[in-house]
Amino acid sequence: MGKAEKTRQFIIEKAAPIFNRKGVAGTSISDILKATRLAKGGVYGNFSSKEEIVMEVFDYIAGEEKLQLRKVTATANTSAGKFEALFEYYSTFPKNQRVAGGCPMLNFGVEADDTNPGLKKKVSELVLYYESRIAKMVQYGKDNGEFKPEWDEKKFAVKMFTMLEGAILVSSVLGHNKQMLVVLDALREEMKHHSL
């Protein structure tokens, strides 16, 4: 990685938690300058606009989240074990998050709804990625005789993803994880119902 690439990466990593906490509209170039201790030319010499920084930051945060969730599930050999590892992870979310500030899909998704089609597309792709990962975990379990063959992995993926995202939102607003724990118990019950 050359000097320019290192500087770009440095800016992205410093800006990521700011955008994730304060949002796109709430984050100013001054915030980024303060966090990086760079002059305006140092930032704009590497990025053409705040919009470009936002898009790169979202890709970075999404990549870090994917890496974290792969790490969480990597030690389990069974599909049920991978699900339980995820449930444990979400029971303490966001304490173990790689980039501070809460769930990037909620944070960026709400803001990008109608104002930023490019960012909305990136958030949509990330949602579909997570749903497909959940569906694959169910299918893996079905293929290996852990789960009943009639369990609809696509419907469960949508249900699990939206329940977790809703619980993250409510937990963030209320400042505790009681609702998250109820959601996790419901997901465990469904998994148990479809287990062989």
**pLDDT single digits (tens) 67-88:** 989 999 999 999 999 999 999 9
Residue 67's H or E segment, with its range, is: helix 50-74
| Closest among 56, 112, 90, 114 to 169, alpha carbons compared | 90
Q: Please list, residue by residue across 23-52, b when 16 or more beta carbons sit within 10 angstroms of its beta carbon and e when fewer do.
A: ebeebeeebbbebbebeeeebeebbeebee
- CA distances in angstroms from 20 to 8, 38, 90, 118, listed in the order given: 18, 20, 18, 17
Q: How far apart (Å, rounded) are the C-alpha atoms in residues 167 and 157?
A: 15
| C-alpha–C-alpha distance, residues 181 and 58, integer Å | 28
* Contact (Cβ atoms closer than 8 angstroms) between residue 127 and residue 39: no
- Predicted confidence at residue 97, as pLDDT, reads 67
Q: Which residues pair with 147 in a beta bridge?
A: 195
Least trusted range by pLDDT, from 68-82, 102-116, 143-157, 164-178: 102-116
Q: Give the global pTM.
A: 0.89
What domains can be seen in the chain, in order of their start residue?
A: 58-193 (1.10.357.10)
For residue 33, give both structure tokens. 């300058």
Q: Which two tokens stand for residue 114?
A: 């109608």
pLDDT in tens, 9-51: 999 999 999 999 998 889 999 999 999 999 988 898 899 999 9
Measured distance CA(61)–CA(65) in Å, rounded: 6
- pLDDT greater than 90 at residue 110: no
**Cα–Cα nearest to 20, from 119, 105, 94, 107:** 107
